Amino acid sequence: MGRERVKSMPYPSKNKSGIVGPRKIILLSLLVATAMILSYVDSMFPLFLMVPVPGVKLGLSNVVVVTAIYLFDKRDVLLMILVKSVLVSLLFGSPITFMYSLSGGIASLTAMLVVINLFYKYISPIGLSVVGAIWHNIGQLAMATIILGNRNIFVYLPYLMIIGVISGVGVGCVVLYLERYKRIIIKC
Amino acid sequence: MKRGDLIIITSTLCVAIVMMILFIDVKGDKQTYDVVGYHGREEVFRHSLVEDEQYVFEYGEAYNELHIRNGEAFMAHANCPDKSCTYTKPISQPGQIIVCLPHNIIIEVHGKGESEIDALSQ
Protein backbone atom coordinates (compact mmCIF):
# COMPACT_ATOMS: atom_id res chain seq x y z
CA MET A 1 0.00 0.00 0.00
CA GLY A 2 2.86 2.32 0.80
CA ARG A 3 4.36 1.52 -2.59
CA GLU A 4 1.09 2.36 -4.29
CA ARG A 5 1.06 5.75 -2.62
CA VAL A 6 4.49 6.58 -4.02
CA LYS A 7 3.57 5.36 -7.48
CA SER A 8 0.36 7.30 -8.05
CA MET A 9 0.12 10.75 -6.57
CA PRO A 10 -3.13 10.86 -4.59
CA TYR A 11 -5.51 13.70 -5.25
CA PRO A 12 -7.85 14.10 -2.29
CA SER A 13 -10.30 16.92 -2.74
CA LYS A 14 -9.37 19.17 0.18
CA ASN A 15 -6.33 19.87 2.30
CA LYS A 16 -4.10 17.60 0.22
CA SER A 17 -0.81 18.27 1.89
CA GLY A 18 -2.21 19.16 5.30
CA ILE A 19 -0.38 22.47 5.22
CA VAL A 20 -2.41 25.22 6.86
CA GLY A 21 -2.04 28.68 8.31
CA PRO A 22 1.17 30.67 8.13
CA ARG A 23 3.14 27.70 6.80
CA LYS A 24 0.83 27.54 3.80
CA ILE A 25 1.32 31.24 3.11
CA ILE A 26 5.10 30.91 3.42
CA LEU A 27 5.24 27.89 1.13
CA LEU A 28 2.98 29.60 -1.41
CA SER A 29 5.14 32.72 -1.44
CA LEU A 30 8.26 30.59 -1.83
CA LEU A 31 6.60 28.91 -4.81
CA VAL A 32 5.73 32.33 -6.28
CA ALA A 33 9.35 33.44 -5.89
CA THR A 34 10.57 30.26 -7.60
CA ALA A 35 8.09 30.74 -10.41
CA MET A 36 9.26 34.33 -10.93
CA ILE A 37 12.90 33.30 -11.19
CA LEU A 38 11.96 30.45 -13.53
CA SER A 39 10.01 32.75 -15.84
CA TYR A 40 12.93 35.17 -15.89
CA VAL A 41 15.29 32.33 -16.89
CA ASP A 42 12.63 31.33 -19.40
CA SER A 43 12.62 34.77 -21.02
CA MET A 44 16.42 34.73 -21.33
CA PHE A 45 16.55 31.32 -23.00
CA PRO A 46 16.76 31.99 -26.77
CA LEU A 47 14.27 29.36 -27.88
CA PHE A 48 12.91 31.64 -30.62
CA LEU A 49 16.24 31.32 -32.45
CA MET A 50 15.45 27.67 -33.06
CA VAL A 51 11.68 28.05 -33.45
CA PRO A 52 10.77 31.52 -34.79
CA VAL A 53 7.19 31.53 -33.50
CA PRO A 54 5.90 34.47 -31.45
CA GLY A 55 5.28 33.65 -27.83
CA VAL A 56 7.32 30.45 -27.82
CA LYS A 57 8.58 29.60 -24.34
CA LEU A 58 9.92 26.65 -22.40
CA GLY A 59 7.28 27.08 -19.71
CA LEU A 60 9.63 26.31 -16.83
CA SER A 61 7.38 28.04 -14.31
CA ASN A 62 4.78 25.38 -15.07
CA VAL A 63 6.84 23.19 -12.71
CA VAL A 64 5.67 25.35 -9.84
CA VAL A 65 2.05 25.43 -10.94
CA VAL A 66 1.82 21.64 -11.38
CA THR A 67 3.49 21.07 -8.01
CA ALA A 68 1.10 23.53 -6.38
CA ILE A 69 -1.89 21.75 -7.91
CA TYR A 70 -0.82 18.54 -6.17
CA LEU A 71 -0.10 20.30 -2.87
CA PHE A 72 -2.80 22.94 -2.48
CA ASP A 73 -6.45 23.73 -2.99
CA LYS A 74 -7.51 25.25 -6.32
CA ARG A 75 -8.19 28.65 -4.74
CA ASP A 76 -4.64 28.87 -3.42
CA VAL A 77 -3.20 27.92 -6.81
CA LEU A 78 -5.35 30.56 -8.53
CA LEU A 79 -4.15 33.19 -6.06
CA MET A 80 -0.56 32.08 -6.67
CA ILE A 81 -0.94 32.43 -10.44
CA LEU A 82 -2.48 35.90 -10.12
CA VAL A 83 0.30 37.12 -7.81
CA LYS A 84 2.93 35.60 -10.07
CA SER A 85 1.49 37.24 -13.22
CA VAL A 86 1.33 40.67 -11.56
CA LEU A 87 4.84 40.50 -10.11
CA VAL A 88 6.50 39.10 -13.22
CA SER A 89 4.87 41.76 -15.42
CA LEU A 90 5.86 44.53 -13.00
CA LEU A 91 9.46 43.39 -12.84
CA PHE A 92 10.27 42.11 -16.31
CA GLY A 93 7.40 43.06 -18.59
CA SER A 94 4.73 45.48 -19.71
CA PRO A 95 0.91 45.68 -19.36
CA ILE A 96 0.65 43.68 -22.58
CA THR A 97 2.85 40.94 -21.12
CA PHE A 98 0.57 40.92 -18.08
CA MET A 99 -2.53 40.31 -20.19
CA TYR A 100 -0.86 37.49 -22.12
CA SER A 101 0.54 35.86 -19.01
CA LEU A 102 -2.76 36.14 -17.14
CA SER A 103 -4.87 34.68 -19.95
CA GLY A 104 -2.41 31.84 -20.45
CA GLY A 105 -2.16 31.11 -16.75
CA ILE A 106 -5.89 31.03 -16.15
CA ALA A 107 -6.57 28.91 -19.25
CA SER A 108 -3.90 26.39 -18.32
CA LEU A 109 -4.98 26.24 -14.66
CA THR A 110 -8.62 25.66 -15.65
CA ALA A 111 -7.66 22.90 -18.09
CA MET A 112 -5.35 21.20 -15.60
CA LEU A 113 -7.97 21.31 -12.82
CA VAL A 114 -10.63 19.85 -15.13
CA VAL A 115 -8.29 17.07 -16.26
CA ILE A 116 -7.04 16.18 -12.79
CA ASN A 117 -10.54 16.16 -11.31
CA LEU A 118 -11.87 13.88 -14.04
CA PHE A 119 -8.93 11.55 -14.67
CA TYR A 120 -6.61 11.73 -11.69
CA LYS A 121 -6.40 7.92 -11.57
CA TYR A 122 -5.10 7.63 -15.10
CA ILE A 123 -2.79 10.58 -15.23
CA SER A 124 0.63 11.50 -13.89
CA PRO A 125 2.23 14.96 -13.65
CA ILE A 126 3.65 14.42 -17.15
CA GLY A 127 0.26 14.34 -18.85
CA LEU A 128 -0.99 17.11 -16.60
CA SER A 129 1.84 19.47 -17.50
CA VAL A 130 1.41 18.72 -21.22
CA VAL A 131 -2.25 19.74 -20.90
CA GLY A 132 -1.17 22.86 -19.02
CA ALA A 133 1.41 23.84 -21.63
CA ILE A 134 -1.01 23.45 -24.54
CA TRP A 135 -3.82 25.39 -22.87
CA HIS A 136 -1.38 28.08 -21.85
CA ASN A 137 -0.66 28.55 -25.56
CA ILE A 138 -4.35 28.48 -26.48
CA GLY A 139 -5.15 31.09 -23.82
CA GLN A 140 -2.37 33.36 -25.03
CA LEU A 141 -3.41 33.02 -28.67
CA ALA A 142 -7.00 33.80 -27.71
CA MET A 143 -5.80 36.94 -25.93
CA ALA A 144 -3.69 37.86 -28.97
CA THR A 145 -6.78 37.40 -31.14
CA ILE A 146 -8.70 39.80 -28.89
CA ILE A 147 -5.90 42.39 -28.71
CA LEU A 148 -4.88 42.28 -32.38
CA GLY A 149 -8.31 41.46 -33.80
CA ASN A 150 -6.77 38.88 -36.09
CA ARG A 151 -7.63 35.20 -36.06
CA ASN A 152 -4.79 34.28 -38.41
CA ILE A 153 -2.43 34.16 -35.46
CA PHE A 154 -3.80 30.68 -34.73
CA VAL A 155 -1.65 29.31 -37.59
CA TYR A 156 1.10 29.11 -34.99
CA LEU A 157 -0.91 26.81 -32.72
CA PRO A 158 0.34 23.47 -34.15
CA TYR A 159 3.99 24.50 -33.71
CA LEU A 160 3.30 25.76 -30.20
CA MET A 161 1.50 22.49 -29.42
CA ILE A 162 4.49 20.38 -30.48
CA ILE A 163 6.87 22.53 -28.41
CA GLY A 164 4.35 22.31 -25.56
CA VAL A 165 4.37 18.50 -25.66
CA ILE A 166 8.17 18.38 -25.52
CA SER A 167 8.53 20.94 -22.72
CA GLY A 168 5.50 19.52 -20.90
CA VAL A 169 7.09 16.08 -20.71
CA GLY A 170 10.26 17.67 -19.32
CA VAL A 171 8.32 19.68 -16.76
CA GLY A 172 6.33 16.59 -15.74
CA CYS A 173 9.55 14.65 -15.15
CA VAL A 174 10.82 17.45 -12.90
CA VAL A 175 7.56 17.37 -10.91
CA LEU A 176 7.78 13.56 -10.58
CA TYR A 177 11.30 14.02 -9.25
CA LEU A 178 10.09 16.64 -6.76
CA GLU A 179 7.47 14.16 -5.53
CA ARG A 180 10.28 12.21 -3.83
CA TYR A 181 10.95 15.22 -1.63
CA LYS A 182 7.30 15.96 -0.96
CA ARG A 183 7.57 14.80 2.64
CA ILE A 184 10.52 17.10 3.29
CA ILE A 185 8.68 19.98 1.63
CA ILE A 186 5.61 19.39 3.78
CA LYS A 187 7.52 18.96 7.03
CA CYS A 188 9.84 21.91 6.79
CA MET B 1 4.11 7.76 -17.13
CA LYS B 2 0.64 6.29 -17.24
CA ARG B 3 -1.69 5.35 -20.04
CA GLY B 4 -3.59 8.63 -19.80
CA ASP B 5 -0.38 10.56 -20.42
CA LEU B 6 0.31 8.59 -23.60
CA ILE B 7 -3.25 9.23 -24.81
CA ILE B 8 -2.87 12.96 -24.17
CA ILE B 9 0.50 13.20 -25.91
CA THR B 10 -0.45 11.18 -28.98
CA SER B 11 -3.79 12.93 -29.44
CA THR B 12 -2.11 16.34 -29.13
CA LEU B 13 0.50 15.46 -31.74
CA CYS B 14 -2.21 14.12 -34.08
CA VAL B 15 -4.27 17.31 -33.71
CA ALA B 16 -1.15 19.42 -34.33
CA ILE B 17 -0.28 17.53 -37.51
CA VAL B 18 -3.85 17.73 -38.82
CA MET B 19 -3.90 21.48 -38.15
CA MET B 20 -0.57 21.93 -39.94
CA ILE B 21 -1.94 20.15 -43.00
CA LEU B 22 -5.13 22.24 -42.91
CA PHE B 23 -3.20 25.52 -42.68
CA ILE B 24 -1.03 24.88 -45.75
CA ASP B 25 -2.18 27.35 -48.39
CA VAL B 26 -2.51 26.89 -52.11
CA LYS B 27 0.07 28.90 -54.01
CA GLY B 28 -1.31 31.65 -56.21
CA ASP B 29 -0.36 34.59 -58.39
CA LYS B 30 1.83 37.10 -56.57
CA GLN B 31 0.62 40.02 -58.71
CA THR B 32 -2.68 40.09 -56.90
CA TYR B 33 -1.31 40.18 -53.36
CA ASP B 34 -0.97 43.06 -50.96
CA VAL B 35 1.20 43.31 -47.90
CA VAL B 36 -0.86 44.81 -45.09
CA GLY B 37 0.47 46.06 -41.77
CA TYR B 38 -1.68 46.46 -38.68
CA HIS B 39 -0.93 48.29 -35.46
CA GLY B 40 -3.42 46.80 -33.05
CA ARG B 41 -6.63 46.53 -35.08
CA GLU B 42 -5.86 49.54 -37.22
CA GLU B 43 -4.54 49.19 -40.78
CA VAL B 44 -1.51 51.46 -41.15
CA PHE B 45 0.23 50.13 -44.25
CA ARG B 46 -0.78 48.52 -47.54
CA HIS B 47 1.47 47.90 -50.49
CA SER B 48 1.72 45.53 -53.44
CA LEU B 49 3.89 42.48 -52.89
CA VAL B 50 5.68 42.72 -56.25
CA GLU B 51 7.09 46.24 -55.82
CA ASP B 52 10.04 46.72 -53.52
CA GLU B 53 9.30 48.94 -50.56
CA GLN B 54 10.54 49.87 -47.14
CA TYR B 55 8.36 50.98 -44.26
CA VAL B 56 9.12 51.94 -40.68
CA PHE B 57 6.62 51.38 -37.89
CA GLU B 58 7.36 53.88 -35.13
CA TYR B 59 5.15 54.20 -32.08
CA GLY B 60 6.92 55.79 -29.13
CA GLU B 61 9.82 53.51 -28.29
CA ALA B 62 8.66 50.81 -30.66
CA TYR B 63 10.61 50.58 -33.91
CA ASN B 64 10.05 47.99 -36.63
CA GLU B 65 11.39 48.14 -40.16
CA LEU B 66 9.49 46.19 -42.82
CA HIS B 67 11.10 45.42 -46.16
CA ILE B 68 9.48 44.08 -49.32
CA ARG B 69 12.07 42.57 -51.67
CA ASN B 70 11.61 40.27 -54.68
CA GLY B 71 8.02 39.42 -53.86
CA GLU B 72 8.69 38.65 -50.21
CA ALA B 73 8.04 40.67 -47.09
CA PHE B 74 10.20 40.45 -43.99
CA MET B 75 10.99 42.40 -40.85
CA ALA B 76 14.53 43.70 -41.20
CA HIS B 77 14.97 45.45 -37.86
CA ALA B 78 13.09 45.63 -34.57
CA ASN B 79 13.94 46.90 -31.13
CA CYS B 80 11.61 44.61 -29.21
CA PRO B 81 13.14 42.38 -26.52
CA ASP B 82 12.64 39.01 -28.21
CA LYS B 83 13.06 39.96 -31.90
CA SER B 84 11.08 36.90 -32.97
CA CYS B 85 9.57 38.90 -35.86
CA THR B 86 13.00 39.38 -37.46
CA TYR B 87 13.62 35.64 -37.26
CA THR B 88 10.32 34.79 -38.92
CA LYS B 89 10.80 33.51 -42.47
CA PRO B 90 9.91 35.97 -45.28
CA ILE B 91 6.22 35.77 -46.16
CA SER B 92 4.75 35.70 -49.66
CA GLN B 93 1.48 33.71 -49.52
CA PRO B 94 -1.98 34.79 -48.27
CA GLY B 95 -2.56 33.75 -44.69
CA GLN B 96 1.11 33.94 -43.75
CA ILE B 97 1.85 36.49 -41.06
CA ILE B 98 4.69 38.15 -39.20
CA VAL B 99 3.81 39.08 -35.64
CA CYS B 100 5.49 41.40 -33.17
CA LEU B 101 3.62 40.79 -29.93
CA PRO B 102 5.48 43.35 -27.77
CA HIS B 103 4.72 46.14 -30.25
CA ASN B 104 1.24 45.00 -31.28
CA ILE B 105 2.19 44.83 -34.96
CA ILE B 106 1.00 42.26 -37.50
CA ILE B 107 2.11 42.00 -41.12
CA GLU B 108 -0.15 39.94 -43.38
CA VAL B 109 -0.38 38.99 -47.03
CA HIS B 110 -3.85 39.62 -48.46
CA GLY B 111 -5.52 39.29 -51.81
CA LYS B 112 -5.86 42.75 -53.40
CA GLY B 113 -8.74 44.85 -52.10
CA GLU B 114 -10.11 42.25 -49.74
CA SER B 115 -9.95 43.04 -46.05
CA GLU B 116 -11.12 40.25 -43.83
CA ILE B 117 -10.59 42.23 -40.65
CA ASP B 118 -12.86 45.08 -41.71
CA ALA B 119 -15.59 42.63 -42.62
CA LEU B 120 -15.26 40.99 -39.23
CA SER B 121 -15.35 44.13 -37.17
CA GLN B 122 -18.40 45.60 -38.88
Beta bridge partners of B65: B56, B77
CB A55, CB A137: distance < 8 Å: yes
**Least confident stretch, A11-20, A129-138, A161-170, B15-24:** A11-20
SS (H, E, C) A39-91: HHHHHHCCHHHHCCCCCCCCCCCHHHHHHHHHHCCHHHHHHHHHHHHHHHHHH
Q: How confident is the model at residue B50 (pLDDT cuts 50, 70, 90)?
A: confident
Q: How confident is the model at residue B119 (pLDDT cuts 50, 70, 90)?
A: very low
- The whole-angstrom separation of Cα B83 and Cα A15 is 44
Mean pLDDT of chain B: 79
Instruction: Compute φ and ψ for B115, nearest 5 degrees.
Output: -140, 95
> Does pLDDT of A93 surpass 70?
yes
CB B56, CB B64: distance < 8 Å: yes
CB pairs under 8 A between A and B: 114
Average pLDDT over residues B12-22: 88
What are the residues of chain B with a beta carbon less than 8 Å away from any beta carbon of chain A? Answer: 1-5, 7-9, 12-13, 15-17, 19-20, 23, 38, 40-41, 81-85, 87-89, 95-97, 99-102, 104, 106, 108, 117, 120-121
pLDDT at B28: 55
pLDDT at B34: 82
pLDDT at B120: 45
pLDDT at A153: 78
Residue of chain B whose alpha carbon sits nearest to that of A144: B101
Among left, alpha and beta (phi > 0; psi -120 to 50; other), residue A86 is alpha
**Higher-scoring residue by pLDDT: B98, A6:** B98
**Higher-scoring residue by pLDDT: B85, A2:** B85
Contacts of B16 in chain A (CB under 8 A): 157-159, 161-162, 165
- From the list A124, A150, A152, the residue facing B5 with the nearest CB is A124
CB B113, CB A78: distance < 8 Å: no
> Does pLDDT of B1 surpass 50?
yes
- Three-state SS at B33: strand
**Least confident stretch, A122-126, B46-50, B80-84:** B80-84
pLDDT at B32: 72
Contacts of A100 in chain B (CB under 8 A): 101
Residues 6+ apart with CB under 8 A from A39: A60, A61, A84, A88, A92
**E strand or H helix at B37, and its extent?**
strand B33-39
CB contact (8 A) between residue B5 and residue A127: yes
**Higher-scoring residue by pLDDT: B28, B41:** B41
- Candidate ranges A20-34, A129-143, B36-50; pick with highest mean pLDDT: A129-143
A2-15 per-position pLDDT tens digit = 444 444 455 554 55
Give the other-Cβ count within 10 Å of A171's Cβ.
Answer: 28
pLDDT at B87: 81
Percentage of chain B lying above the pLDDT 70 cut = 84
